[in-house]
Amino acid sequence: MEIQQSHYEFKSAPIEHQIVLMAENIRTPENMGMIMRLSEAFGVEKIYFVGEHAIDLTTKVKRASRNTYKTTNYEFLPEGEDKIKKLTDSGYQSIALEITYKSKPIQNFKADQYKKTVVIVGSERQGISEKLLQLCENHYHIPMFGNNSSINVVNALAIGLYKVTEKINKA
């Protein structure tokens, strides 16, 4: 008897949330592809890749995305400030996944009345720009237990999307 279930037999959980992702100044093709793959896995409705360093859909991006680039809704924007304002005006809460002076541990994220959330992640080098941080209602960080203060943007996004979808779907 086989124990492992095939990917074709597995049924995903129903989506009870509306999550939009904003990824600012992502430079690495593999990270861009993995962001698409993670977003698809967590039911993200749209990804906005913002900033001056937009990456084309190279072979590396496509390979890392495991073909989710074909089914993921995404858009490239030169800047994200106007989009954040439009999303929050239409009822989305905004959360920055970044270490800031006012950030709280991600496990303290509260969905409250919100089922609509925009999650913002930043570049591999500088994180989220000060302009976008100023527009975010809430800042959350991932507590670290080693000497390093950060992890790869894709790994951080995986943890962040897991916690956000967990809390929203329980609300």
pLDDT at 130 over 90: yes
Structure tokens that stand for 20 in this block: 């939009």
Q: Of the candidates 50, 17, 15, which has an alpha carbon nearest to the alpha carbon of residue 35? A: 50
pLDDT at 5 over 90: no
Phi, psi dihedrals of residue 136, rounded to the nearest 5°:
-85, 130
pLDDT at 114 over 80: no
Domains and CATH numbers, the chain: 18-170 (3.40.1280.10)
- Determine the average pLDDT of the residues in 131-143: 94
What pLDDT score does 125 carry?
A: 85
CB atoms within 10 A of CB 154: 21
Structure tokens that stand for 165 in this block: 């979808």
Dist. CA 153–CA 67, nearest whole Å: 20
Dist. CA 74–CA 31, nearest whole Å: 15
